[in-house]
A and B are shown apart, each in its own frame.
Chain A
Amino acid sequence: MSAAGQPAGRSRWGELILLPTINLVAALLLSGLVIRLIGESPRQALQLMLAGAFGSQEAIGYTLYYATNFIFTGLAVAVAYHAGLFNIGAEGQAYIGGLGVGLVGLVGGNWPFWLVLPAAIVAAAAFGAAWAFIPAWLQARRGSHIVITTIMFNFLASALMTWLLVNILIKPGQQSPETREFGAGAWLPTAQSLLGRIGLTVAASPLNLAFLLALGAAGLVWAIIWHTRWGYALRVTGENPSAALYAGIAPPAVMLLAMLASGALAGGLGLNELMGVQHRISLDFPAGAGFVGIAVALMGRNHPLGICLAAILFGALMQGGSELSFDLPHVTRDMVVVIQGLVILFCGALQNVFRARLRRLGLNL
């Protein structure tokens, strides 16, 4: 577990900027090759993707809206990782966290905003944390492997939510399994309306207040992990459980708390997706963001700043990729998944491929 975290002593710009950039370029080159193979022009594809992700205010809005989800789930994975745990369950935790948000939205549709926002945040965190608690407890007390249990809990969350939406929460008198719309009081203000208040006119997009909440969560995670004694205990536990025991830290308790924090962060996705955009609870609204969060954390080296940047990259891939599939006849949405996969492969699994070569060039990596 020493590959991540603070690469003190090594050249940090090389570690945090140069290496990821080279990996990203390699992934894009290979993606270009694949696009050529299916008979499209890589150059045109790249142009379309870039324009699709950053070419207009609306495009940027979409990119950042996707990024918001990935920041929440990326942070969730990273916090668990620092405690030495691999949380594969951000998807399920986000799903259940969204249930909490949705309940507040359904009940508090005409509450004042100063009440509904904190209530929704608390509900998101509490529901997400609760869903992470059982696997965490099983790991801490019974030694059940958290990778296995969190995967299982993704399926459980999915089954539970389907049942709730089909049988209980469904809006009466309709076929599609989703709730009624929240009252307008429980909608997060969009970027358009927020910026409008300070006199800036921007195009409409799903981007909303939750983006700022995600950035705030990233700042909070950074401060807690590296600047509190609790974060210190968390990092010691993750890096060396024997040393934690020696230091009087109880690793099971730390792991439990870390997983609660992780689940709470994943729950934040519901704020963006449900309160910010859909304004109702729908089926499978996390749409894989929990899994993308693993790649985001990996690529962002489990550091909040890196996670924000990686989340924006994956947001751009998501948004630019859907533009791509609109405009190029041979490119389907699956192509986007291929590109994402290549980025994950090069930035995660193969992240050290170029390290030795750069070292030979005399870089202190």
Chain B
Amino acid sequence: MEPTETPVPPALELRGLDKRFGSVHANRAISFSAARGSIHGLIGENGAGKSTLMNIVYGFYTADTGEIWVQGRKREIRRPAEAIAAGIGMVHQHFMLVQNFSVLENIILGAEGGARLQGGVARARAELAELARTYGLEAPLDEPVERLPVGLQQRVEILKALYRGAEILILDEPTAVLTPQEADQLFRMLRRLREEGKTVLLVTHKLREILAVTDRVTVLRQGAVVAEVRTADTSAAELAEKMVGRAVLLQVEKTPARPGPPLLEVRDLEVRDAQGTPRLRGINFQLHAGEILGVAGVSGNGQSELLEALAGLCVPSRGAILLAGRELRPAGRGAESRRALGLAHVPEDRLRMGVVSGFSAEDNAILGYHNAAAYQRGPWLSRGAVRQECERKMAAWDVRPPQPAMRIGRFSGGNQQKLVLAREVDCRPKVLIIGQPTRGVDIGAIEFIHRRLVALRDEGRALLIVSVELEEVLGLADRILVMAGGEIAGILGRAEATEEKIGLLMAGITGAAGSRPEGSPP
């Protein structure tokens, strides 16, 4: 860190922040400062302590020891209200908007300025017009938020913070829900804010964003600052190494696919939700043995419904799914019969569906396979067999710590995911459908999981991988299926798929060169 001899104090300075949760030391004596009028990146793996730190700065938690200095003054921040008063605004990963309120109503919510709404509303309009002029942040003030695209909703969140007088803006994983183009737009907006003298703190685990937009970057590992560097002086490889503590392969190493016969075929699939609205329409594709089909798209464009329909968790309103030429019946115990036929499923939301967080690792390792003969001894579940199997899976997939009796919730995301994958791969499925293979998984484990997935492909299994991380799809997939609005916007061969092309398809702009609605291997 440079000595702060300049007359301008840093916008935000943290001095020795320390926070423990029971035996977990979430933040260890964290110190760093962000200069006024800069974009400062905070990067680290999941569980490195980024969120805890930002929650301390925004007053959700109180640090055990340490000080927060804002614009050269020491501040006590024990509640979000005190953070707002200190000029700190936060844009959460999951937006805090009232969906059926208008943009204006959302912005003034909690800052209405008096018991009578009218005066406040007029003042707010004037002030927002001013903000729009200064920062180029236009928003349709009278439109209900639910009708806005996600990128615009995020802008409303930023406006909300600015309206409350934020000089320091914290953005927590802001691009998780954006298309690449929307992300670029966000970055332009952030640069504009910087020019106007605001300070932006960008919290992310994506190296690309840090390199694209920040001035300086602080790297956290295991709750401590391990590096603070000028972005211009560093590289993706160096940052990744600092985050993980060792050199990391950023590219997935793989040979070209040698696709075999189609194992999974989807014909004219349609899924409607409880209200009868189609969520998935006219889905046609084939998945071949020995290939990875990546599904890209902004989340919420039908990917979840596709996974659930394939896994037998929802009943399609029309269309057919064929596994190795045999049509799958939607009725009855969908999930169990599909497993028996050789279709395994790693769900996208691990904690909601993939594991039972209150159970031990060994009890989770049999979820969905608890009726298997290997685990039964007469009427009883053989605890010995269950434990042995879990130990075997843990060894084969390097799950740490290898303790079958430990509650699954106490394992890191990466180790939970490895156990889920071990469970689903172990029965040697023909087709494996995987939602968000590395969500909430640290970089070291991502590398491991990616290598294993490619190895499964090379064994001749068919993999369908849905991911919101475009880099992951591009790294793993042999073909890329892009979804927009519940439909297939296009299927691209890996060679022709560029980030830009995919981005256009994700935005629903079809007709981009080279996209084919009908899937066939390259």
Q: Do A and B come from one complex?
A: yes
Q: Is B129 an interface residue (CB 8 A)?
A: no
Residues of B contacting A232 with CB < 8 Å? Answer: 363, 366, 370, 381
Q: Is the CB of B356 within 8 A of A239?
A: yes
B371-393 toward A: CB 8 Å interface, digit per residue (1/0)? Answer: 10001100111010000000000
Q: Is the CB of B406 within 8 A of A247?
A: no
Residues of A contacting B333 with CB < 8 Å? Answer: 248, 250
For the side of the interface on B, what is the size category?
35 or more
Q: Which residue of A lies closest to B314 (CB)?
A: A245
Binds A, one of B52-60, B162-170, B334-342: B334-342
Known contacts A8-B407, A242-B352; decide if A247 and B360 are in contact (CB<8 Å).
Answer: no
Q: Is B357 an interface residue (CB 8 A)?
A: yes
Q: Tell me which of A2, A6, A229, A246 contacts B311 (CB under 8 A).
A: A246
B402-440 toward A: CB 8 Å interface, digit per residue (1/0)? Answer: 000111001000000000000000000000000000000
A183-210 toward B: CB 8 Å interface, digit per residue (1/0)? Answer: 0000000000000000000000000000
Q: Is the CB of B406 within 8 A of A359?
A: no
Measured CA separation A265–B345 after assembly (Å): 38
Q: Is A43 an interface residue (CB 8 A)?
A: no
Q: Is the CB of A247 within 8 A of B367?
A: yes
A212-227 toward B: CB 8 Å interface, digit per residue (1/0)? Answer: 0000000000010001
Q: Is the CB of A248 within 8 A of B359?
A: no
Measured CA separation A223–B366 after assembly (Å): 18
Q: Is the CB of B357 within 8 A of A240?
A: yes
Q: Is the CB of A9 within 8 A of B407?
A: yes
Q: Is the CB of B356 within 8 A of A236?
A: yes
Known contacts A240-B356, A247-B370; decide if A228 and B336 are in contact (CB<8 Å).
Answer: no
Residues of B contacting A227 with CB < 8 Å? Answer: 380-381, 383
Measured CA separation A249–B313 after assembly (Å): 11
Q: Is A243 an interface residue (CB 8 A)?
A: yes
Q: Is B39 an interface residue (CB 8 A)?
A: no
Residues of A contacting B366 with CB < 8 Å? Answer: 232
Known contacts A227-B380, A229-B375; decide if A246 and B357 are in contact (CB<8 Å).
Answer: no
Residues of B contacting A1 with CB < 8 Å? Answer: 358
Q: Is the CB of A359 within 8 A of B368?
A: no
Known contacts A227-B380, A228-B380; decide if A243 and B335 are in contact (CB<8 Å).
Answer: no
Q: Tell me which of A229, A231, A246 contacts B354 (CB under 8 A).
A: A246
Residues of B contacting A2 with CB < 8 Å? Answer: 357-358
Q: For residue B256, give the distance in angstroms from its CB to the closest CB of chain A.
A: 34
Q: Is the CB of B22 within 8 A of A359?
A: yes
Measured CA separation A229–B363 after assembly (Å): 11
Q: Which residue of B lies closest to A2 (CB)?
A: B358
Q: Is the CB of B368 within 8 A of A235?
A: no
Q: Is the CB of A8 within 8 A of B381?
A: no
Q: Which residue of B lies closest to A1 (CB)?
A: B358
Q: Is the CB of B313 within 8 A of A246?
A: yes
**CB contact list, B237-274 vs A, under 8 A:** none
Q: Is A364 an interface residue (CB 8 A)?
A: yes
Measured CA separation A364–B24 after assembly (Å): 12
Q: Is the CB of A246 within 8 A of B407?
A: no
B342-361 toward A: CB 8 Å interface, digit per residue (1/0)? Answer: 00010100001111111110
Q: Which residue of A lies closest to B376 (CB)?
A: A229
Q: Is B23 an interface residue (CB 8 A)?
A: yes
**CB contact list, A243-270 vs B, under 8 A:** 243, 245-250
Q: Is A5 an interface residue (CB 8 A)?
A: yes
Q: Is the CB of B370 within 8 A of A235?
A: no
Residues of B contacting A245 with CB < 8 Å? Answer: 313, 335, 353
Residues of A contacting B347 with CB < 8 Å? Answer: 246
Residues of B contacting A242 with CB < 8 Å? Answer: 352-353
Q: Is A233 an interface residue (CB 8 A)?
A: yes
Q: Is the CB of B356 within 8 A of A243?
A: yes
Q: Is the CB of A8 within 8 A of B406?
A: yes
Known contacts A8-B407, A229-B370, A364-B23; decide if A248 and B353 are in contact (CB<8 Å).
Answer: no
Known contacts A9-B406, A229-B370; decide if A243 and B354 are in contact (CB<8 Å).
Answer: yes
Residues of A contacting B23 with CB < 8 Å? Answer: 364
Most buried by B among A233, A240, A246, A247: A246
Q: Is the CB of A247 within 8 A of B368?
A: yes
Q: For residue B166, give the distance in angstroms from its CB to the closest CB of chain A.
A: 34
Most buried by A among B352, B359, B407: B359
Residues of A contacting B376 with CB < 8 Å? Answer: 229
Q: For residue B329, give the distance in angstroms from its CB to the closest CB of chain A.
A: 14
Known contacts A243-B353, A359-B22; decide if A229 and B371 are in contact (CB<8 Å).
Answer: yes
Q: Is the CB of B335 within 8 A of A8?
A: no
Residues of B contacting A228 with CB < 8 Å? Answer: 379-381
Q: Is the CB of B345 within 8 A of A246?
A: yes
Residues of B contacting A9 with CB < 8 Å? Answer: 405-407, 410
Q: Is the CB of B335 within 8 A of A246?
A: yes
Residues of A contacting B336 with CB < 8 Å? Answer: 247-249
Measured CA separation A58–B137 after assembly (Å): 82
Most buried by A among B339, B345, B370, B383: B370
Q: Is the CB of B383 within 8 A of A247?
A: no
Measured CA separation A247–B352 after assembly (Å): 12
Measured CA separation A233–B359 after assembly (Å): 12
Residues of B contacting A248 with CB < 8 Å? Answer: 333-337, 339, 368
**CB contact list, B48-82 vs A, under 8 A:** none
Measured CA separation A102–B148 after assembly (Å): 67
Q: Which residue of B lies closest to A237 (CB)?
A: B356
Q: Is the CB of B407 within 8 A of A235?
A: no
Interface residues of B, Cβ cutoff 8 Å to A: 22-23, 311, 313, 333-337, 339, 345, 347, 352-360, 363, 366-368, 370-371, 375-376, 379-381, 383, 405-407, 410
Instruction: Jot down 20 A-B pairs with beta carbons below 8 A, ordered by A.
Output: A6-B360, A9-B410, A227-B381, A228-B379, A229-B381, A232-B363, A232-B381, A236-B356, A236-B359, A239-B359, A240-B353, A240-B357, A242-B352, A243-B356, A246-B311, A246-B347, A246-B354, A247-B336, A247-B368, A364-B23
Contacts A239-B359, A243-B354, A246-B353 known; 17 new A-B pairs at CB < 8 A: A2-B357, A2-B358, A9-B410, A229-B370, A229-B375, A235-B356, A236-B359, A239-B357, A239-B358, A240-B357, A242-B352, A246-B313, A246-B354, A246-B367, A247-B336, A248-B333, A359-B22
**Which are the 10 A-B pairs with shortest beta-carbon distances?**
A248-B336, A247-B368, A248-B335, A2-B358, A9-B407, A246-B353, A242-B353, A240-B356, A239-B356, A247-B367
